[in-house]
Structure 1
Amino acid sequence: MMLFWERGYEGTSMADLTHVMGLNPSSIYAAFGDKRALFQLVAKRYMELRAQYAVKALEEPTLERFTRALFDNTVAFLTTPGHPPTCMTLAGAVGCSLDATPARDLMTAIRKQNQVALRERLLKARKSGELPKEINVDDYTRYLSTIVAGLSIQAANGSTKAELKRTAQMALRHLGY
């Protein structure tokens, strides 16, 4: 997982995988299928084990607490020692060649699933009266997703935890929190 996360789908070769996993290529193919199948398993594991920061935020009872937790959890995740300073769904398959279209499509599907969960949380806020009716839920969903993705890009660019926190705080102020 770490190799795909650090290098992306295309940047990770079978030779890299055999070295890190301590297996020969035939054992990897026998156990996981091809590189694409292994990447799919890795993406699933990443979502289940590592990328729970947004899921935890969704559990917050109010829109403000959810939004604060979303940004705080994202910054904490991106600056966790021992893993790359970016989200695998962004770095894993963005800018892939046509040969890697399935990997790119998988990462896109995961990001879209995340947006659906975010949209559902915003609809809940609309029903409770926390999100004004004049705010377009789809636009707001894309806006929050863009901020979270932007934090990931800035982390990959080398922004520090303090810088990311200040960026998140600025976004919160612009959102009225």
Structure 2
Amino acid sequence: LKLVFEDDGEIFNLWKTPPVDLYIKIYLFNVTNAIEYLENSSKKIQFGEVGPYVYRELLSHENITFFSNGTLLTNPSHPLIFQEHMSEGNKEDDIFFLPNIALLSIAQVASKHSYLFRLPLNLLIRQTKILPLEKQTAKQFMFGYETTLTTLGNTFLPNWITFDKVGLIDR
């Protein structure tokens, strides 16, 4: 039995826009003693779980082109739509103090290199007054926000840092 995948066919339409409801629940961990920690880093950092933030993923295939050799080209699309009624009172504009993802990432990379590599990086972080915690909305933290480190990296290392925002589920 051969399955025919043709424009506007039944199987094609099921593939193009799958009739399924996909949801993602996201929990964030807010630093509950952020001010005290930033003023006195000898204090232990304390986290509180917040969530869920529920999103519906809308799967579809856009700009579909069929080729004579039986292949096709498409742009998959899967935007996330906030589901406030399922998010138990949590809102995308809730404010959090969260770990600085860009700083943690660069620290991890730098830890594998020599002192001579880390020294200028350390000076840069001190000069730009980059803090280990950042105040962001839930939406910014999930979908991306600009940081000094990503802006500098994108400017001076464009082949390595090819993005201008940092986020947990930035697409």
Please report the TM-score for the alignment, with normalisation by the length of structure 1: 0.24
Larger radius of gyration: 2
Please report the TM-score for the alignment, with normalisation by the length of structure 2: 0.24
Larger RCO (CA within 8 A; separation ≥ 6): 1
The structure with the largest helix share of the pair is 1
